[in-house]
Amino acid sequence: MHELTLQLPVSPDAAPVDDDAVVIAAAADALDVPTDAIETVVLHRRSLDARKRRAGRWVLRCRAYLVGEPGPEGPDLRAIRPKRAAKPRGALRPIIVGMGPAGLFAALQFADYGVQCTILERGPPVERRNYDVRDLRTKGQLQPESNLCFGEGGAGTYSDGKLYSRSKSPRVREVYERLVALGLTERILTDAHPHVGTNRLIPMAKVLRQALVEAGHTLRFDARVTDLLVKTDGAQPQVIGVELADGEQLVGEPVLLATGHSARGVYAMLARHGVAMERKSFAIGARVEHPQALIDEVQLGDMAGWKSVGAAEYFLKQKVPEAGGSRGVYSFCMCPGGFVLPTPTALDHLNVNGMSNSGRNSKFANAALVAQIGADEMYLESPGDLDDDPDFGAHVAGGALLGLALQGKLERRAFALGGGAYHAPAQRLADFVHGDNTGMLPQRSSYRPGLRAADCREVLPSRIVAALVRGASQVDRGQLRGYLTNDAVIIPVETTTSSPVRIIRGPDRESISHRGLYPVAEGAGYAGGIVSSAIDGMNAAESLLIRHGLLAEEGR
């Protein structure tokens, strides 16, 4: 076996990395052997080097096996892999709250060891959810329990389906292999920045549902958890089940809380029980949309528009100066060839996010431009101005939920400035930066239900406006020349980059204040994105399997 890094020129029409003969010839050339001496080449990572925009290169990291050498061991791609645990499994009957990546992958992990779960989702199956999402985008009608955040698959179902992660965990590959086993393209195993696309995630949710049912899990939709069942006769409260909105009580231990960061009512419920929580930093800002052709030209030069290269993306990260220090400003969830979406979960609120399909063939590119908010600055304009918020003020959980109060205030502002019916306020990016309220917008946008010209500085806190203005100007001068243009539009407000709350837990992922409660992933403040959330759910399940003697510690 020979570890190789190959560099192949980019051609305009077809990607040579999809042509086995081209890859084998390149490997043979690198090893200085004839092509018939190559038994097989296993591709492990592919990426595009576009730094020389007139002569881009595909960079392939692969392993080549010569004739007569031991061949590669293929990945185990079975969707459910029962381990036939030796001990009885009746004592462990978890309740999983939430059918996003964390809840679903925790359920898969339990299924591997023969443990059956009850999985609860406040929203509907994806088939019915699709109609509600359509009505929000085309008619401006929001269903608070069925939307772009709530429902089967969680918020990730209607996203770009980004699967790349900064995590170095070997479980990243495990998540990819499991998704391939369930029907996703094998390219996610090799692409440097793998993505799936909403059009593939939606049918994927149905396949995953069937796999979980076949594993013996009980899946319940339209089952919103409104309370915990807590036993308090010991030294520490113990969660023994949940109560649903219709009053039904479900007893089962433990409870894995995988509700995502948009389920704000869950935090208020946890506060009533005294569950340990704290504020954490997050980021707020707005979506910025450009014509995709402009981003292609800036990023790819002569390669812009080539079928083999596809839609260009960008990643921005910088510090901007301000009184007493600096503030981080960065892009978030960049969607090449994508769409800007309304993602509120509460009536008369508006926040936005982005998605794209697998082909990334929309005429628009969008990404959030956001600025960091520290845990000590959860206020609008001056400290204390949100303390009296009736739901999330300083009197709740010692102020742990003030970030939720800030999110809600900004979302109500955005809704009002958009004029209702989930139209979004918008402004040309150049006008926003220069402080010019011209009332002019680009002729077209991907956002539905539609845009309304407005002074978008009115939505965001002044310190965030100042940071975004400096950040956009710095980007245009350095990282992405051409970013600041009248063809770009800024659409507020982006509030849900991550949770502003952390549910404090121990190293085994159990709440430090309540036994039997396992808060996981984005909603718990510990992960971000599809893959890292999935891994956090898997690790929580594994901790429970070890605790119940179904998995040895050395088998982790």
Q: Which domain does 101 fall in, by range?
A: 95-277+500-555
- Whether residue 525 sits in one domain with residue 482: no
Residue 192 included in any domain:
yes
Enumerate the β-bridge partners of residue 368.
287, 332
- Whether residue 262 sits in one domain with residue 407: no
Instruction: Evaluate whether 253 touches 516 at the Cβ level (below 8 Å).
Output: yes
Closest to 379 measured CA to CA, from 406, 399, 407, 400? 406
- Whether residue 344 sits in one domain with residue 249: no
- Residue 83: burial class (beta carbons within 10 Å; 0-12, 13-18, 19+): middle
Residue 72 included in any domain:
no
- Whether residue 311 sits in one domain with residue 260: no
d(CA 362, CA 295): 13
Residue that is written with structure tokens 């890859």 in the block: 23
d(CA 103, CA 516): 16
Instruction: Evaluate whether 259 touches 97 at the Cβ level (below 8 Å).
Output: yes
d(CA 158, CA 130): 10
For β-strands 255-257 and 95-97, DSSP reports them as parallel
- Whether residue 414 sits in one domain with residue 350: yes
Instruction: Evaluate whether 130 touches 202 at the Cβ level (below 8 Å).
Output: yes
Q: According to the model, what pLDDT value does residue 86 have?
A: 47
Residue 81 included in any domain:
no
- Quick one: which H or E segment has residue 536? helix 530-547
Q: What is the CATH number of the domain that holds 217?
A: 3.50.50.60
Closest to 204 measured CA to CA, from 270, 255, 157? 157
- Whether residue 218 sits in one domain with residue 348: no
- Whether residue 304 sits in one domain with residue 248: no
Query: Within 10 A of 253 (CB to CB), how many other CB atoms are there?
Result: 19
Token digits of residue 164: 């790349």
Q: According to the model, what pLDDT value does residue 90 have?
A: 55
Q: Give the chain's count of helices (H) and strands (E).
A: 12, 22
d(CA 320, CA 543): 41
Q: According to the model, what pLDDT value does residue 1 have?
A: 86
Q: According to the model, what pLDDT value does residue 87 have?
A: 47
Backbone angles phi and psi of 101, in degrees to 5: -55, -40
- Whether residue 243 sits in one domain with residue 113: yes
The last residue of a domain, from among 494, 524, 541: 494
Closest to 51 measured CA to CA, from 306, 335, 303? 303
- Whether residue 369 sits in one domain with residue 347: yes
d(CA 375, CA 382): 14
This prediction's pTM: 0.90
The last residue of a domain, from among 29, 49, 66: 66
In angstroms and rounded to an integer, the radius of gyration of the C-alpha atoms of the chain is 24
- Whether residue 310 sits in one domain with residue 266: no
- Quick one: which H or E segment has residue 322? strand 317-322
Instruction: Evaluate whether 105 touches 82 at the Cβ level (below 8 Å).
Output: no
d(CA 71, CA 41): 10
Q: According to the model, what pLDDT value does residue 16 have?
A: 57
The last residue of a domain, from among 494, 518, 543: 494
Q: According to the model, what pLDDT value does residue 15 have?
A: 59
Residue that is written with structure tokens 């086993």 in the block: 181
Residue 210 included in any domain:
yes
- Whether residue 439 sits in one domain with residue 320: yes
- Whether residue 437 sits in one domain with residue 325: yes
Residue 88 included in any domain:
no
Q: Alpha helix locations (H) across 399-504? A: 402-418, 429-434, 462-477
Q: According to the model, what pLDDT value does residue 388 have?
A: 96
Residue 90 included in any domain:
no
Residue 157 included in any domain:
yes
Instruction: Encode the chain (556 residues) as per-residue pLDDT tens digits.
Output: 899 999 888 877 655 566 778 889 999 999 999 999 998 888 888 888 887 666 788 899 989 999 988 877 765 555 555 555 444 455 789 999 999 999 999 999 999 999 999 999 999 999 999 999 999 999 999 999 999 999 999 988 887 777 877 777 889 988 988 888 888 778 888 887 887 877 888 888 898 999 999 999 999 999 999 999 999 987 899 999 999 999 999 999 899 999 999 999 999 999 999 999 999 999 999 999 999 999 999 999 888 988 888 899 999 999 999 998 999 999 999 999 999 999 999 999 999 999 998 889 999 999 999 999 999 999 999 999 999 999 999 999 999 999 999 999 999 999 999 999 999 999 999 999 999 999 999 989 999 999 999 999 999 999 999 999 999 999 999 889 999 999 999 999 999 999 999 999 999 999 999 999 999 999 999 988 899 999 999 999 999 999 998 887 655 5
What total number of domains does the chain contain?
A: 3
d(CA 518, CA 66): 49
Residue 294 included in any domain:
yes
